[in-house]
Amino acid sequence: MIQLNQVEKTYTNNNEKIIALRQVTMNVDEGIFMAIRGPSGCGKSTLLFTVGGLLKPNSGTVRIEEIDLYTISADQRAQYRAQKIGFVFQRFHLVPYLNVLDNVLAASLALKDLNKQMKINLRNRALELIEHFGLTDRLLHIPSKLSTGERQRVALARALLNQPSILLADEPTGNLDDGNTEMVYQYLIAHTNNGGTVLLATHDQQVASYAHKTIQMDNGKLDLKTKLQKVSKNLEFTKRALFLPKQLTNILINVSLIFIPKTS
């Protein structure tokens, strides 16, 4: 599913060369929830943005489903990313002046040539997700009127709008209490149970209780000597989280809403 081979990424800050990724080689199979754990600045976020086709490495290859992301054109990469990858962030990146429905639908702003039926399907899909995440009574609320947990659920709904095969989550529980943290992890588990793949960056020690595999990262390097973990699953939650039907229409995610930091 995800294959990285000898990936390096460097930045320059005040004429100082910073190596964010050091010859990173890794594979993440379909249906796996993999967590990359490490301190701030170790390269976790850079790794996610590189896997997501948003940050071109200086060297090495990034393949998803045998597609080499950085040998295809920028437009092809954007289209592929839109169809295959969903993003979830610690700070949510919701549009402050849009209500819940429009924030979820914002994932489709890059979609071209929408006909009337596609727009209807898109709206119905968004409403299904909003109901699924328990946000129907918040449909017309803007982000400032939502709790932290509700904002993260909106972000999850937006990430799932195009039914991506891969979810990339950058510190998605960093601002959440224990209850909402549990909820996010269970939704990520449910995504893998439905055949999806999750790659999560975190410093959270609890993640090993949920992820299939947890890999430590430090100074741009991965420690790959990590065995698969036994995942704790809430079966009733999973049954509910897997209800989402496959749609005929793929919805493009609006990657222009994503902020790409200079460091991880």
Enumerate the domain spans of the chain: 2-257
2-257 folds as Rossmann fold (3.40.50)
- Side by side, which strands form the sheet with 166-170? 85-89, 166-170, 197-202, 33-37, 213-218, 221-223
Query: What length is written for the chain?
Result: 264
Note down pLDDT in tens along the chain; length 264 residues: 899 999 999 988 888 888 999 999 999 999 999 999 998 889 999 999 999 999 999 999 999 988 999 999 998 898 888 888 999 887 888 999 999 999 999 888 766 677 889 889 989 999 999 998 889 999 999 999 999 989 989 999 999 888 889 999 998 888 788 888 888 888 899 999 989 999 999 988 888 788 999 999 999 999 876 555 544 444 444 443 333 333 222 322 333 333 333 333
Q: At what angle do helices 116-132 and 148-160 cross, to 10 degrees?
A: 140
